[in-house]
Amino acid sequence: MKENAEILNKKTIELNRLINSNDSGKNAWRAGATLSQIKETKEFKLFNYDSFGEYTEQKLNISESRANGYVTIYKSFSDESFSDNILVTHLLTLAKADQNIREVILEGIKKINIEKTVKDNTIGKVITNKPFHTNDIISTTIELLKSAKSNKLEINTGLAIDALQLAKEQNFDRGTSYKVSNKHGKPFLSIYFENVCKVFPYKPTCEMDVVGLFCTMFIYLMDIPFRYSGQTQLVSFDHIVYLRAAFQDAQVKLNGKKKDDLMTIDIEFEFKSSSYFSHLNSEKTCHMIVCWENNIDKLEYDKFKYKIP
């Protein structure tokens, strides 16, 4: 009994080292292997704990849900299936995807990393172990491949690499988009909306500017009919139901042919339209993107049969 307690104590020391060293997916996998054994054999009772959660909170200073996340990583992947620069957050996101989708994404990342290493070595750059993909890019890649799969396309490594590269091109540097700046954009000039320019004299430089400009222009936009979502009849904006910070950013009513024939749509505001793809893993839908710069290459997304609002 005492010998078993000493073994568990060594395991606990090693778990603390793995958990606190860095966010490495490899370390998370190794921690998950040990935690899985401790949980299934109820070794935690050797330390007089009644539950696995009590053990993780008292001895490892992590919640039971976090510990179970490591166990999920261990049970979902083999140690050889992912690169050294994959993070724990990447693996937790991938674990939720279908097995064939996560396998081709991991294989795609391996190939991209190999090509990047060869290219960097050729030009004499020092290779670091810095992660090549953010979690937003992983989430977007999963959604693109899910769309392709639902449309009966073959899910393979080549398609995964295309999805990863496309998602990466959308520039998911979410941290910089929220930096506070007191600088305004260049003068906003328009021969069609002169009164708007008096109220909103500078071009947008961020998402909040786009929201402000949309609201400022809304009274004028109400008079401009347009075709929405492939419909033959013209519609126009009627009124704003609400604005909020969470996705989706706004709900708006559209007028149809009849005065009382109102259609409800959800809108997402973005400075650049491509930032919309950081929301692809949301269960909510969006009907329209309102942006200042449309930098989405629709033809590229057609490859995955993904419908852009």
Low-confidence ranges of the chain (pLDDT < 70): 1, 114-134, 171-181, 230, 257-259, 281
The 10s digit of each residue's pLDDT in 149-167 is 999 999 999 999 999 988 8
For position 181, what pLDDT does the model report? 61
Going from the C-alpha of 163 to that of each of 98, 269, 278, 304, the distances in angstroms are: 16, 24, 14, 8
For position 70, what pLDDT does the model report? 97
Contacts of 146 (CB under 8 A, 6+ apart): 97, 98, 101
For position 133, what pLDDT does the model report? 57
For position 118, what pLDDT does the model report? 45
The 10s digit of each residue's pLDDT in 46-96 is 999 999 999 999 999 999 999 999 999 999 999 899 988 888 999 999 999
For position 279, what pLDDT does the model report? 75
For position 129, what pLDDT does the model report? 45
Please give the model's pTM, rounded to 2 decimal places: 0.74
